[in-house]
Structure 1
Amino acid sequence: MSAQDKQGSKEKIKALKISYLTEQLNLSPSEAEKFWPIYNTYSKEQYSLRNILRSEIKRAMIEGDINSVSEKEAEKLIALKLDTDQKIYESQNDFINNVKKVISYKKIVKLQLAEMEFGRKLMSKYKHRKSDSKN
Protein backbone atom coordinates (compact mmCIF):
# COMPACT_ATOMS: atom_id res chain seq x y z
CA MET A 1 0.00 0.00 0.00
CA SER A 2 1.46 3.35 -1.01
CA ALA A 3 1.67 6.34 1.34
CA GLN A 4 -1.05 8.03 -0.71
CA ASP A 5 -3.34 4.98 -0.37
CA LYS A 6 -2.70 4.89 3.39
CA GLN A 7 -3.53 8.60 3.70
CA GLY A 8 -6.72 8.11 1.68
CA SER A 9 -7.63 5.15 3.85
CA LYS A 10 -7.06 7.18 7.04
CA GLU A 11 -9.21 10.01 5.70
CA LYS A 12 -11.99 7.56 4.78
CA ILE A 13 -11.90 6.01 8.26
CA LYS A 14 -11.93 9.47 9.86
CA ALA A 15 -14.99 10.45 7.80
CA LEU A 16 -16.76 7.21 8.74
CA LYS A 17 -15.94 7.79 12.41
CA ILE A 18 -17.26 11.37 12.32
CA SER A 19 -20.46 10.18 10.69
CA TYR A 20 -20.86 7.28 13.14
CA LEU A 21 -20.20 9.39 16.25
CA THR A 22 -22.48 12.19 15.07
CA GLU A 23 -25.27 9.67 14.51
CA GLN A 24 -24.71 7.86 17.81
CA LEU A 25 -24.58 11.08 19.83
CA ASN A 26 -27.46 12.68 17.95
CA LEU A 27 -25.63 16.02 18.02
CA SER A 28 -27.63 19.13 17.26
CA PRO A 29 -26.03 21.49 14.72
CA SER A 30 -25.09 23.83 17.57
CA GLU A 31 -23.53 21.00 19.59
CA ALA A 32 -21.67 19.64 16.55
CA GLU A 33 -20.22 23.06 15.75
CA LYS A 34 -18.70 23.32 19.25
CA PHE A 35 -18.01 19.61 19.80
CA TRP A 36 -15.89 18.72 16.76
CA PRO A 37 -13.06 21.25 17.28
CA ILE A 38 -12.68 20.08 20.90
CA TYR A 39 -12.86 16.40 19.89
CA ASN A 40 -10.42 16.79 16.99
CA THR A 41 -7.83 18.52 19.19
CA TYR A 42 -8.24 15.78 21.80
CA SER A 43 -7.95 12.99 19.20
CA LYS A 44 -4.76 14.45 17.73
CA GLU A 45 -3.23 14.75 21.19
CA GLN A 46 -4.15 11.15 22.10
CA TYR A 47 -2.78 9.86 18.79
CA SER A 48 0.44 11.83 19.20
CA LEU A 49 1.04 10.57 22.74
CA ARG A 50 0.45 6.95 21.76
CA ASN A 51 2.53 7.32 18.60
CA ILE A 52 5.56 8.63 20.52
CA LEU A 53 5.42 5.60 22.81
CA ARG A 54 5.03 3.18 19.87
CA SER A 55 7.93 4.80 18.02
CA GLU A 56 10.21 4.55 21.03
CA ILE A 57 9.36 0.89 21.55
CA LYS A 58 10.01 0.13 17.87
CA ARG A 59 13.25 2.13 17.96
CA ALA A 60 14.50 0.17 20.98
CA MET A 61 13.94 -3.21 19.35
CA ILE A 62 16.23 -4.67 16.73
CA GLU A 63 14.20 -6.16 13.88
CA GLY A 64 11.08 -6.25 16.04
CA ASP A 65 12.66 -8.54 18.64
CA ILE A 66 11.89 -7.57 22.25
CA ASN A 67 14.71 -9.88 23.39
CA SER A 68 17.20 -7.47 21.79
CA VAL A 69 16.26 -4.76 24.31
CA SER A 70 18.63 -4.33 27.26
CA GLU A 71 17.27 -4.26 30.81
CA LYS A 72 18.26 -0.59 31.10
CA GLU A 73 16.43 0.25 27.85
CA ALA A 74 13.38 -1.74 29.02
CA GLU A 75 13.38 0.28 32.26
CA LYS A 76 13.40 3.51 30.21
CA LEU A 77 10.50 2.21 28.10
CA ILE A 78 8.47 1.39 31.21
CA ALA A 79 9.13 4.88 32.61
CA LEU A 80 8.06 6.38 29.26
CA LYS A 81 4.90 4.24 29.24
CA LEU A 82 3.94 5.37 32.75
CA ASP A 83 4.63 9.00 31.84
CA THR A 84 2.60 8.61 28.63
CA ASP A 85 -0.28 6.97 30.52
CA GLN A 86 -0.31 9.94 32.92
CA LYS A 87 -0.38 12.41 30.00
CA ILE A 88 -3.17 10.42 28.32
CA TYR A 89 -5.18 10.55 31.55
CA GLU A 90 -4.60 14.30 31.87
CA SER A 91 -5.62 14.79 28.24
CA GLN A 92 -8.81 12.79 28.79
CA ASN A 93 -9.58 14.79 31.92
CA ASP A 94 -9.05 18.09 30.06
CA PHE A 95 -11.23 16.85 27.20
CA ILE A 96 -14.10 15.98 29.55
CA ASN A 97 -13.79 19.32 31.34
CA ASN A 98 -14.02 21.12 27.99
CA VAL A 99 -16.67 18.99 26.32
CA LYS A 100 -19.04 18.90 29.30
CA LYS A 101 -19.69 22.57 28.52
CA VAL A 102 -21.04 21.49 25.11
CA ILE A 103 -22.70 18.10 25.62
CA SER A 104 -24.24 16.32 28.60
CA TYR A 105 -22.47 13.72 30.73
CA LYS A 106 -24.84 11.15 29.26
CA LYS A 107 -23.62 12.03 25.75
CA ILE A 108 -20.01 11.84 26.97
CA VAL A 109 -20.69 8.26 28.11
CA LYS A 110 -22.40 7.56 24.75
CA LEU A 111 -19.31 8.96 23.03
CA GLN A 112 -17.01 6.59 24.88
CA LEU A 113 -19.25 3.62 24.08
CA ALA A 114 -19.58 4.70 20.43
CA GLU A 115 -15.78 5.03 20.09
CA MET A 116 -15.29 1.50 21.42
CA GLU A 117 -18.03 0.13 19.15
CA PHE A 118 -16.58 1.92 16.12
CA GLY A 119 -13.16 0.43 16.90
CA ARG A 120 -14.66 -3.06 17.23
CA LYS A 121 -16.54 -2.70 13.93
CA LEU A 122 -13.43 -1.42 12.19
CA MET A 123 -11.31 -4.31 13.50
CA SER A 124 -13.98 -6.81 12.55
CA LYS A 125 -14.16 -5.44 9.02
CA TYR A 126 -10.35 -5.43 8.79
CA LYS A 127 -10.15 -9.07 9.97
CA HIS A 128 -12.77 -10.13 7.42
CA ARG A 129 -10.94 -8.28 4.66
CA LYS A 130 -7.64 -9.96 5.63
CA SER A 131 -9.21 -13.43 5.74
CA ASP A 132 -10.98 -12.79 2.41
CA SER A 133 -7.69 -11.80 0.76
CA LYS A 134 -6.05 -15.04 1.95
CA ASN A 135 -8.69 -17.18 0.22
Structure 2
Amino acid sequence: MNIKTLLPILLFFVSFTFFGQVERMKEKKEQIKALKVAFFTTELDLTSNEAERFWPIYNTYDDKQFEIRHKKMKAFVHKMDDNALDKMSEKEASTLLSLLSSSEEDLFLLRKKLNNDLKEILPSVKIIKLKKAEDNFNRKLLHQYRDKHK
Protein backbone atom coordinates (compact mmCIF):
# COMPACT_ATOMS: atom_id res chain seq x y z
CA MET A 1 0.00 0.00 0.00
CA ASN A 2 1.47 3.34 -0.95
CA ILE A 3 1.45 6.56 1.04
CA LYS A 4 -1.18 8.20 -1.20
CA THR A 5 -3.69 5.52 -0.24
CA LEU A 6 -2.69 5.25 3.39
CA LEU A 7 -2.75 8.96 4.23
CA PRO A 8 -6.49 9.59 3.54
CA ILE A 9 -7.42 6.48 5.52
CA LEU A 10 -5.26 7.60 8.44
CA LEU A 11 -6.72 11.13 8.35
CA PHE A 12 -10.23 9.66 8.31
CA PHE A 13 -9.59 7.63 11.47
CA VAL A 14 -7.90 10.52 13.26
CA SER A 15 -10.78 12.89 12.46
CA PHE A 16 -13.33 10.23 13.45
CA THR A 17 -11.61 9.73 16.81
CA PHE A 18 -11.48 13.50 17.40
CA PHE A 19 -15.17 13.86 16.50
CA GLY A 20 -16.02 11.05 18.93
CA GLN A 21 -14.14 12.80 21.73
CA VAL A 22 -15.96 16.07 21.05
CA GLU A 23 -19.31 14.27 21.12
CA ARG A 24 -18.44 12.56 24.43
CA MET A 25 -17.48 15.94 25.90
CA LYS A 26 -20.82 17.41 24.80
CA GLU A 27 -22.67 14.45 26.31
CA LYS A 28 -20.82 14.83 29.61
CA LYS A 29 -21.58 18.57 29.68
CA GLU A 30 -25.28 17.87 29.05
CA GLN A 31 -25.32 15.21 31.79
CA ILE A 32 -23.77 17.64 34.25
CA LYS A 33 -26.23 20.34 33.23
CA ALA A 34 -29.17 17.97 33.83
CA LEU A 35 -27.80 17.00 37.25
CA LYS A 36 -27.30 20.67 38.08
CA VAL A 37 -30.90 21.54 37.14
CA ALA A 38 -32.26 18.77 39.35
CA PHE A 39 -29.94 19.68 42.24
CA PHE A 40 -30.67 23.42 42.10
CA THR A 41 -34.41 22.92 41.72
CA THR A 42 -34.43 20.85 44.90
CA GLU A 43 -32.06 23.10 46.84
CA LEU A 44 -33.72 26.38 45.87
CA ASP A 45 -37.30 25.12 46.06
CA LEU A 46 -38.24 27.23 43.04
CA THR A 47 -41.88 27.83 42.23
CA SER A 48 -42.88 27.13 38.62
CA ASN A 49 -43.04 30.89 37.96
CA GLU A 50 -39.60 31.43 39.50
CA ALA A 51 -38.10 28.48 37.61
CA GLU A 52 -39.52 29.71 34.31
CA ARG A 53 -37.78 33.05 34.74
CA PHE A 54 -34.69 31.78 36.59
CA TRP A 55 -33.34 29.18 34.16
CA PRO A 56 -32.88 31.37 31.06
CA ILE A 57 -30.96 33.94 33.15
CA TYR A 58 -28.88 31.30 34.93
CA ASN A 59 -28.11 29.35 31.74
CA THR A 60 -26.88 32.52 30.03
CA TYR A 61 -24.69 33.25 33.05
CA ASP A 62 -23.39 29.68 33.16
CA ASP A 63 -22.49 29.70 29.45
CA LYS A 64 -20.64 33.03 29.74
CA GLN A 65 -18.83 31.85 32.85
CA PHE A 66 -17.75 28.68 31.03
CA GLU A 67 -16.52 30.78 28.12
CA ILE A 68 -14.47 33.05 30.37
CA ARG A 69 -12.95 30.18 32.31
CA HIS A 70 -12.17 27.95 29.37
CA LYS A 71 -11.41 30.31 26.53
CA LYS A 72 -9.78 33.32 28.17
CA MET A 73 -7.98 31.41 30.90
CA LYS A 74 -6.91 28.60 28.55
CA ALA A 75 -4.40 31.02 27.10
CA PHE A 76 -2.22 30.83 30.17
CA VAL A 77 -2.94 27.40 31.66
CA HIS A 78 -0.19 25.72 29.66
CA LYS A 79 2.24 28.38 30.88
CA MET A 80 1.55 27.55 34.52
CA ASP A 81 3.69 24.40 34.81
CA ASP A 82 6.84 24.65 36.87
CA ASN A 83 9.26 24.50 33.92
CA ALA A 84 7.50 27.28 32.06
CA LEU A 85 7.26 29.45 35.18
CA ASP A 86 10.97 29.09 35.89
CA LYS A 87 11.84 30.20 32.35
CA MET A 88 9.30 33.03 32.17
CA SER A 89 10.56 36.58 31.86
CA GLU A 90 9.27 39.34 34.11
CA LYS A 91 7.47 40.92 31.13
CA GLU A 92 5.74 37.62 30.26
CA ALA A 93 4.77 37.12 33.91
CA SER A 94 3.36 40.62 34.09
CA THR A 95 1.30 40.06 30.94
CA LEU A 96 0.05 36.75 32.29
CA LEU A 97 -0.85 38.33 35.62
CA SER A 98 -2.82 41.06 33.83
CA LEU A 99 -4.70 38.41 31.84
CA LEU A 100 -5.50 36.48 35.01
CA SER A 101 -6.71 39.62 36.77
CA SER A 102 -8.85 40.57 33.79
CA SER A 103 -10.46 37.12 33.67
CA GLU A 104 -11.16 37.18 37.41
CA GLU A 105 -12.66 40.65 37.11
CA ASP A 106 -14.85 39.49 34.21
CA LEU A 107 -16.09 36.61 36.36
CA PHE A 108 -16.80 38.96 39.26
CA LEU A 109 -18.75 41.39 37.06
CA LEU A 110 -20.68 38.51 35.51
CA ARG A 111 -21.64 37.23 38.97
CA LYS A 112 -22.66 40.71 40.04
CA LYS A 113 -24.90 41.00 36.97
CA LEU A 114 -26.44 37.61 37.74
CA ASN A 115 -27.26 38.68 41.28
CA ASN A 116 -28.83 41.93 40.07
CA ASP A 117 -30.86 40.13 37.40
CA LEU A 118 -32.05 37.51 39.88
CA LYS A 119 -33.13 40.13 42.43
CA GLU A 120 -35.98 40.95 40.07
CA ILE A 121 -37.38 37.41 40.27
CA LEU A 122 -36.09 35.75 43.46
CA PRO A 123 -35.90 36.76 47.09
CA SER A 124 -32.38 37.47 48.33
CA VAL A 125 -32.41 34.34 50.49
CA LYS A 126 -32.80 32.15 47.40
CA ILE A 127 -29.96 33.98 45.65
CA ILE A 128 -27.73 33.19 48.61
CA LYS A 129 -28.99 29.60 48.56
CA LEU A 130 -28.02 29.49 44.88
CA LYS A 131 -24.40 30.31 45.73
CA LYS A 132 -24.42 27.61 48.40
CA ALA A 133 -26.03 25.14 46.00
CA GLU A 134 -23.37 25.88 43.36
CA ASP A 135 -20.59 25.27 45.88
CA ASN A 136 -22.22 22.05 47.12
CA PHE A 137 -22.83 20.81 43.57
CA ASN A 138 -19.23 21.48 42.54
CA ARG A 139 -17.94 19.76 45.67
CA LYS A 140 -20.21 16.77 45.00
CA LEU A 141 -18.94 16.52 41.41
CA LEU A 142 -15.34 16.72 42.56
CA HIS A 143 -15.88 13.94 45.11
CA GLN A 144 -17.52 11.74 42.48
CA TYR A 145 -14.63 12.38 40.10
CA ARG A 146 -12.06 11.54 42.78
CA ASP A 147 -13.91 8.38 43.83
CA LYS A 148 -14.21 7.26 40.23
CA HIS A 149 -10.48 7.66 39.59
CA LYS A 150 -9.18 5.96 42.75
In structure 1, the residue matched to 2:65 is 46
In structure 1, the residue matched to 2:131 is 112
**Count of residues in correspondence between the two structures:** 131
Matched to 2:107, the amino acid is I
Matched to 2:58, the amino acid is Y
CA contact (8 A) 2:44 2:126 kept: yes
Matched to 1:110, the amino acid is K
Matches within 5 A, 1:48-127: 48-58=67-77, 60=79, 65-127=84-146
Which structure has the larger Rg over C-alpha atoms? 2
After TM superposition, the score normalised by the length of structure 2 is: 0.79
Unaligned stretches of 5+ residues in structure 1: none
For the residues of structure 2 that align with 1:59 and 1:129, how far apart are their CA atoms?
25
For the residues of structure 2 that align with 1:102 and 1:13, how far apart are their CA atoms?
25
For the residues of structure 1 that align with 2:80 and 2:139, how far apart are their CA atoms?
29
The more displaced of 48-57 and 115-124 is: 48-57
| Coordinate RMSD, CA, aligned | 2.0
- 1:27 lines up with 2:27 in the alignment: no
Is the partner of 1:106 in helix, strand or coil?
A: helix
For the residues of structure 2 that align with 1:5 and 1:91, how far apart are their CA atoms?
28
